[in-house]
């Protein structure tokens, strides 16, 4: 069928990037190392002024006080321990807590190690975006442009500038993307070591931030759309469904266990407030669209009328994109993955979403990959668009770099 990608093409996209460390020295892959070095230089060049900013707002100081209270590993890994501060009491996030423990209680260096780690995580995440974009678009220039877009995206500059957010979101996205890359390769080429390592990283992601739980849905969605194809599931054949369940049972077990652990210390009133009570059904989709509008602007806040128009436009774009690329499974997966990674943040009680720019940090990575994939497909369709698209990309990079420099300084 015209426009439909074959499994062979999907597998080639997975094999496009080096699978082993020694493959990086191959002549065709040296350019990837050059791209990584450019990302490292750009990241530290534009974000280095943030390294000596010290502790920031209320959340930073709350985490610091909680870390001083959780001064042993036994307390850190106790899911029922309450320290009296909401930041660490409302969720069980021991992986993030261990890093704070090392910085504050062990090294006695305060915010400096966390600042350095947060910046390194952002740079490393841009490199993972590069690798993942290569698997979808199979174009080194487009993939590198996507990684730079993510690296210098102005909303992400605000996230990196916020000590608490840079560690929480930077760390969970790093583990999230690394686990997805392993499980994606496993879906095409099998190998139980990939599954075991991917599930182990998935556990770490769940114990770092609630966002990690969406990885399960993303992997299942990728398996159904790209690897198997929806037609393999209907009409139903018990062998196909059983194989699908068997492949994803370990991750499903992790999700259920994580939900049980997180709910152990929640009181009924807190759960009702946290998840929106009876308004949960209709409020959260609107909240999702409102959060996605943050990806469209990063300056002065928009008036409500403009936000409403943007929400409607995003909804139409997602629905139209899903319909337009219904026969191109890789693009369809990216279109659906974009709102999926924002879903956990719709339970936030904040009224002013302009303060929640950090919640689109993960979505900006998916958007950059989607943009690179669509650009490559558009160029294959109309070659004369090469220079206009390149000029637009370079213009955006310059604007992003200027904005990042202003935020950092």
Give the whole-angstrom CA distance, residue 90 versus residue 97. 13
Question: Across all residues in the chain, what is the average pLDDT?
Answer: 80
**Euclidean distance between the first and final Cα of the chain, in Å?**
53
pLDDT for 345: 83
> Is the model's pLDDT at 338 over the cut of 70?
yes
Does position 263 have pLDDT exceeding 80, yes or no? no
**Cβ–Cβ under 8 Å, residues 330 and 262:** no
Most confident residue range from 75-84, 307-316, 376-385: 307-316
Taking the C-alpha atoms of residue 376 and residue 394, their distance in angstroms, rounded to an integer, is 16
As to burial, measured by CB atoms within 10 angstroms (0-12 exposed, 13-18 middle, 19+ buried), residue 142 is: buried
Name residues whose C-beta falls within 8 Å of residue 107's C-beta, 6 or more positions apart in sequence. 113
Q: How many residues does the chain have?
A: 409
- Residue 54 pLDDT: 67
CA 172 vs. chain centroid, Å, equals 8
Q: Which of 160, 132, 166, 161 is nearest to 146 (CA)?
A: 132
Would you call 142 helix, strand, or coil by DSSP?
Answer: helix
CA gap 38, 190 in Å, rounded: 33
φ, ψ dihedrals at 96, nearest 5°: -65, -40
The C-alpha atoms of residue 372 and residue 129 are separated, in whole angstroms, by 11
Of 326, 228, 370, the closest CA to residue 4 belongs to 326
Radius of gyration for the chain, computed over Cα atoms and rounded to the nearest angstrom: 21
| Residue 38 in this model has a pLDDT that exceeds 60 | yes
- pLDDT at residue 19 is higher than 50: no
Please spell the DSSP secondary structure of 276-329, one letter per residue.
Answer: TGGGHHHHHHHHHHHHHGGGG--SSPPPHHHHHHHHHHHHHHHHHHHHHTTT-H
Closest CA to 395 of 31, 35, 136, 148: 148
Nearest to 360 by CA among 197, 173, 229, 128: 173
The structure's pTM equals 0.86
Taking the C-alpha atoms of residue 336 and residue 345, their distance in angstroms, rounded to an integer, is 16
Greatest alpha-carbon span in the chain: 62
Above 50 in pLDDT, residue 301?
A: yes
Q: CA-CA distance, 334 to 133, in Å (whole number)?
A: 11
Mean pLDDT of 6-18: 50
Asked if residue 1 has pLDDT above 50, the reply is no
Q: How far apart are CA 168 and CA 177, in angstroms?
A: 14
Among 353, 264, 207, residue whose Cα is nearest residue 80: 264
- CB under 8 Å to 96, separation ≥6 — which residues? 167, 168, 171, 208, 209
Highest mean pLDDT of the ranges 25-29, 112-116, 324-328, 388-392: 324-328
Q: What percent of the chain has pLDDT over 90?
A: 23
Contact 169, 96 (CB under 8 A): no
Q: Which of 241, 367, 358 is nearest to 314 (CA)?
A: 367
Residue 288 confidence (pLDDT) above 80: yes
């Amino acid at each position: 069928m015209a426009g439909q990608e074959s499994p062979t093409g999907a597998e080639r996209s997975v094999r496009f990037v080096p699978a082993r460390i020694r493959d990086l020295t191959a002549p065709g892959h040296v350019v990837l190392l050059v791209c990584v070095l450019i990302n490292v230089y750009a990241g530290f060049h534009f974000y280095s002024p943030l390294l000596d900013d010290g502790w920031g707002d209320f959340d930073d100081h709350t985490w610091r006080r909680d870390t001083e209270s959780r001064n042993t590993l036994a307390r850190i890994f106790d899911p029922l321990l309450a320290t009296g501060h909401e930041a660490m009491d409302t969720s069980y996030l021991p992986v993030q807590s261990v890093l704070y423990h090392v910085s504050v209680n062990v090294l006695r260096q305060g915010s400096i190690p966390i600042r350095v780690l947060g910046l390194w995580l952002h740079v490393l995440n841009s490199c993972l975006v590069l690798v993942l974009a290569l698997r979808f678009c199979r174009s080194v220039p487009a993939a590198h442009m996507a990684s730079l877009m993510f690296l210098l995206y102005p909303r992400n500059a605000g996230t990196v500038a916020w000590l608490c957010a840079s560690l929480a979101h930077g760390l969970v996205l790093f583990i999230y993307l690394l686990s997805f890359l392993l499980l994606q390769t496993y879906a095409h080429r099998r190998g139980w070591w990939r599954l075991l390592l991917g599930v182990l990283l998935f556990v770490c992601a769940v114990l770092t931030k609630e966002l990690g739980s969406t990885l399960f849905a993303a992997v299942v969605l990728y398996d159904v759309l790209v690897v198997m194809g929806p037609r393999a599931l209907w009409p139903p054949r018990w062998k196909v469904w059983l194989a699908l369940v068997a492949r994803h049972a370990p991750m499903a077990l992790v999700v259920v266990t994580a939900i049980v652990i997180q709910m152990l210390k929640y009181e009924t009133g807190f759960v009702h407030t946290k998840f929106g009570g009876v308004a949960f059904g209709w409020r959260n989709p609107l909240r999702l669209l409102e959060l996605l509008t943050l990806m469209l602007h990063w300056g002065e806040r928009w008036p409500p009328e403009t936000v409403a128009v943007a929400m409607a436009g995003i909804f139409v774009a997602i629905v139209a994109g899903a319909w337009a690329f219904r026969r191109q499974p890789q693009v369809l997966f990216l279109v659906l993955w974009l709102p999926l990674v924002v879903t956990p943040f719709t339970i936030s009680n904040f009224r002013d979403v302009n303060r929640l720019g950090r919640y689109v940090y993960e979505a900006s990575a998916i958007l950059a990959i989607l943009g690179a994939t669509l650009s490559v497909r558009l160029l294959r369709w109309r070659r004369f668009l090469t220079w206009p698209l390149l000029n637009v990309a370079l213009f955006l990079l310059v604007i992003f770099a200027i904005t990042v420099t202003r935020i950092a300084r």
